[in-house]
Structure 1
Amino acid sequence: MDDIPLSALFGLLFALLACSAFFSGSETGLMTINRYRVKTRAQKGDRGAKLAHDLLQRPDRLIGAILLGSNFVNTLAASVATLIGLRLFPGETGIAVATGVLTLLLLIFGEVTPKTLAALHPERVGIPAAYVLWPLLRLMYPLVWGVTLIGNGILRLLGVSQEDAAQHSLSTEELRTVVAEAGAMIPQRHQKMLLSILDLEKVTVEDIMVPRNEIVGIDISEPWPAVREAIINSEHTRIPVFDGSIDNLKGVVHLRRVVRLAAENQLDVQSLLALAREPYFIPEGTPLNQQLLNFQNQKRRIGFVVDEYGDIQGLVTIEDILEEVIGEFTSDPATRIKNVYADPDGSYRVSGSVTIRSLNKNLGWKLPTDGPKTVNGLLLEKLEHLPQPGAKVEVAGYRFEITEMRANAVKSTRIWPPQTPLPSTAHKAA
């Protein structure tokens, strides 16, 4: 090869360095590329993305093809560099110089630079590289197949499954991180909605239900004029119908059907019961994401939460679950929660039936949620006895003063969030 011009050898060496850079960059680019984004682009008809997506379905073969090409190019580059070294510096000096210079060139131009570029811009490097790697993989398929067969055999001996390693599903927490870090790609309100959907599996029906003592319904044991008045003044479209107590639930009636009979003066207790649909019961502890599907499958919009003994604990509607996703329809935090009123001194007047979760979510508080679901339950658990009005207690830095008791339950209380001035010192529960 002494007749080959030195300039041609230098040109061949630079070409081989460029090929080495291509293989190094394409490996990093395709391995770090966002596979979900590539799949989306492929579904939209992007040919480069489709080729990249197909290559990534078998990463073992892709890596095999890249490494075969890279090793071949680097070995050939070492031979060319040795020839150049012997031409310039005869003897062992030329070999040493060629080895040192080639190592430096491969490190800078064949490894560090292309891999850094590919890591910073994987799509700009990986997708164009797929146009070259796809036919190259087909051309070297027998050799690649043999190499990957041996490699996968060794992996199986080590207990590693290539099929399991190819799965790229996201966990709930990983998906939450993806949504939170989406930045300007997803509007902030949409981010909140997506995160709220992910939170549905952590929230149960007890967290959002209307407690049984606050369920508004029609008691057919009362005189008919009172029943008729309750129907006329109702603010709800669907009303529970019971006889004497919510435990003796007869069904749920839709006011639209009742109004028609009332207008024709044909409405009485029997016709009202005939219009009532049988009640739908929900076991306590049901996650909201599952209950949303249950409402859809059962074609229901309202259900009654029951405990392990079958006793009704509260009422949940599909609107309550949807509000967990899209939020309330008011923007003022002081009016966002029913039975919660903000006072000028920074304190809040709160009904005992308000849920801890609603306070935390809408006011940004951090009250404990791993125990009782309501303010009443939280206070009774901390005090361990039925308190009198005026009793004070501190929970997680929040100071409570009970203002009204009714039927062995906390009817209302005043809450001072942490660092809010308090007129008097609150007693801290043990």
Structure 2
Amino acid sequence: MTFFQHLLIIIGLIAASAFFSCAEIALASARKIRLQQLVETGNARAQQVLNLQNQPGNFFTVIQVALNAIAIMGGILGEQAISPYIESALSHIFGQRAGLDQISFIISFVSVTSLFILFADLMPKRLAMTYPEQVAMWIVRPILVCLALLKPIVVMYDGIASALFKLLNIQTTREDAITFDDVSAIVDAGAASGALHRQEQHLIENVFELDTRTVTFAMTPRENIIYLRLQDDEDTLKAKITEFPHSRFLVCDDLIDQVIGYVESKDILKRTLNHQPISLHRELQVKNVLAIPDTLTLSELLERFKVTNQDLAFILNEYALVVGIVTLNDVMKTLMGDLVSPFIEEQIVKRDDCSWLVDGVTPIEDVRRALAIDQFPHEANYETIAGFMMYQLKRIPKRTDWVEFAGYKFEVVDIDNYRIDQLLVSKLSS
């Protein structure tokens, strides 16, 4: 054969090897979620790719048989095709000298190998890794044809491999369960690439945290609850509503732990404007209020609100004491942050590159995320950064108390009636 014919054979082998290399990476890397979305739009090729992925042994066998056969043929034909021509060219330049055959062999070997590495391996695989779904759908039908033609060989090799895996008790079925960590990694990658804004990233993460955060994260704590007493006279009721213009108030029988229900401010206002008497015993309608345990998650609370058609609840601990109240709006603020409440003061304020001011009631998950801390010690024992300080100090903290952890110094800077109001978190120098 002529040099041109040999060259065509090598180009054909490189093209075939490139195709199978591309197919190997694309079929293995194509994301099932993306393919399922394409199937729902009526894409038949996406369904064929999914079918192949469900039986990876079949297409891997075809690809490996083809790649190995092409590599052997390329090694045999490549040296024989190019080496004589290189030797002839070298003899014209340097004359007949000893060792020209070895030199021409090395040059032909390196040349053919380089062509296969570059055009049959590196470039196709990088292309398939960049566009796995598109490439997989492009090559799936030729692979199915090869699978049909080589079926006896595929059955034999795949059967032997499966038997060996079974003998060694090795699981070969890929688990495609998606965890929160998987979604979080995708969201972080989207934020890093600019596809997601910072607020959108936090929103998605907060949605998944609804199942792990309890209602105490979103509640108004006991000490901040303004409630009405059955024993209050008309002037006291008006004074409370004037000073604290809330839309609803809990109604209690003398003590906050004896909740009767709630009333709406608009009902009191309506009677006041009409110069009608106001009394929690008679005139005003005290409505039933939902009672929930403090162990309920925010996700479960949303379901409870939906079932009961209510959007206000008071929270009880295991001793039947009221620890706080929570509304549907509180859950939405926790979920969406400053997207719905842009004027709410942030719980974590960055002062500079090495220090932060943190509100004492800030959830420990938010602190961990803001400071890039993997885990706080014994997190099951507390829910807020104030709880972390109390757990570490083993006593009620006072101003200037501090704790060092994970390369940070947590210092109490403000106390309000035994409650940690604010901390200063400083990064320790290495």
- Shared fold per TM-score greater than 0.5: yes
Alpha-carbon spacing, 1:259–1:146, altered in 2? closer, same or farther (3 Å) = farther
- Check conservation: 1:250, 1:273, Cα contact below 8 A: no
Say whether residues 1:205 and 2:211 are aligned partners. no
Structure 1, 365-374 or 61-70: larger mean CA deviation: 365-374
* Structure 2, gaps ≥5 residues long: 88-100
Return the offset for 1:135.
Answer: 3.7
CA–CA separation in structure 1 for the residues paired with 2:365 and 2:205: 18
Give secondary structure in 2 for the equivalent of 1:241.
strand
Give the aligned partner of residue 178 of structure 2. Answer: 170
* Deviation sequence 1:27-59 (CA, Å, 0-9, x none): 122223344334334434455544433432332
Aligned partner of 1:43 among 40, 45, 49: 40
One-letter amino acid matched to 1:285: T
May I ask how many residue pairs the two structures share in their alignment? 393
Give secondary structure in 2 for the equivalent of 1:327.
helix
Give the aligned partner of residue 258 of structure 2. Answer: 248
Give the aligned partner of residue 426 of structure 1. Answer: none
Say whether residues 1:326 and 2:336 are aligned partners. yes
- Check conservation: 1:219, 1:244, Cα contact below 8 A: yes
Return the offset for 1:417.
Answer: 5.5
One-letter amino acid matched to 1:66: I
- Check conservation: 2:400, 2:411, Cα contact below 8 A: yes
Return the offset for 1:146.
Answer: 4.4
One-letter amino acid matched to 1:162: T
Give the aligned partner of residue 239 of structure 1. Answer: 249
Say whether residues 1:191 and 2:197 are aligned partners. no
Give secondary structure in 2 for the equivalent of 1:52.
helix
The 5 Å alignment of 1:112-151 reads 112-123=122-133, 125-141=135-151, 143-151=153-161
Give secondary structure in 2 for the equivalent of 1:280.
strand
The 5 Å alignment of 1:285-304 reads 285-304=295-314
Give secondary structure in 1 for the equivalent of 2:325.
strand
Give the aligned partner of residue 277 of structure 1. Answer: 288
CA–CA separation in structure 2 for the residues paired with 1:362 and 1:330: 23
Aligned partner of 1:157 among 156, 167, 170: 167
CA–CA separation in structure 1 for the residues paired with 2:123 and 2:332: 51
Return the offset for 1:359.
Answer: 12
CA–CA separation in structure 1 for the residues paired with 2:402 and 2:397: 16
Alpha-carbon spacing, 1:146–1:100, altered in 2? closer, same or farther (3 Å) = same
Structure 1, 229-238 or 295-304: larger mean CA deviation: 229-238
CA–CA separation in structure 1 for the residues paired with 2:370 and 2:105: 67
CA–CA separation in structure 1 for the residues paired with 2:148 and 2:77: 28
* Deviation sequence 1:183-222 (CA, Å, 0-9, x none): 2222332112112223334433223322212212221122
Give secondary structure in 1 for the equivalent of 2:252.
strand
One-letter amino acid matched to 1:158: L
Aligned partner of 2:232 among 215, 222, 228: 222
Return the offset for 1:12.
Answer: 3.2
Return the offset for 1:347.
Answer: 11
Return the offset for 1:322.
Answer: 1.8
CA–CA separation in structure 2 for the residues paired with 1:234 and 1:20: 77
* Structure 1, gaps ≥5 residues long: 420-430
- Check conservation: 1:209, 1:314, Cα contact below 8 A: yes
Give the aligned partner of residue 355 of structure 1. Answer: 361
> How high is the TM-score relative to the length of structure 2?
0.71
Return the offset for 1:243.
Answer: 0.6
Give secondary structure in 2 for the equivalent of 1:303.
strand
Give secondary structure in 1 for the equivalent of 2:288.
coil
Instruction: Tell me how large the CA RMSD over aligned residues is.
Output: 4.6
- Check conservation: 1:42, 1:53, Cα contact below 8 A: no
- Check conservation: 1:303, 1:317, Cα contact below 8 A: yes
Give the aligned partner of residue 16 of structure 1. Answer: 13
CA–CA separation in structure 2 for the residues paired with 1:78 and 1:347: 64
* Deviation sequence 1:92-134 (CA, Å, 0-9, x none): x99x959957656544443344334433443454332224223
- Check conservation: 1:217, 1:239, Cα contact below 8 A: yes
Alpha-carbon spacing, 1:245–1:126, altered in 2? closer, same or farther (3 Å) = same
Alpha-carbon spacing, 1:74–1:246, altered in 2? closer, same or farther (3 Å) = same
Return the offset for 1:310.
Answer: 2.4
Return the offset for 1:277.
Answer: 1.4
> How high is the TM-score relative to the length of structure 1?
0.71
CA–CA separation in structure 2 for the residues paired with 1:111 and 1:103: 11
CA–CA separation in structure 1 for the residues paired with 2:31 and 2:162: 25
Alpha-carbon spacing, 1:44–1:236, altered in 2? closer, same or farther (3 Å) = farther
- Check conservation: 1:304, 1:314, Cα contact below 8 A: yes
CA–CA separation in structure 2 for the residues paired with 1:349 and 1:83: 74
Give secondary structure in 2 for the equivalent of 1:314.
strand
Return the offset for 1:23.
Answer: 0.3
- Check conservation: 1:176, 1:198, Cα contact below 8 A: no
Return the offset for 1:142.
Answer: 5.3
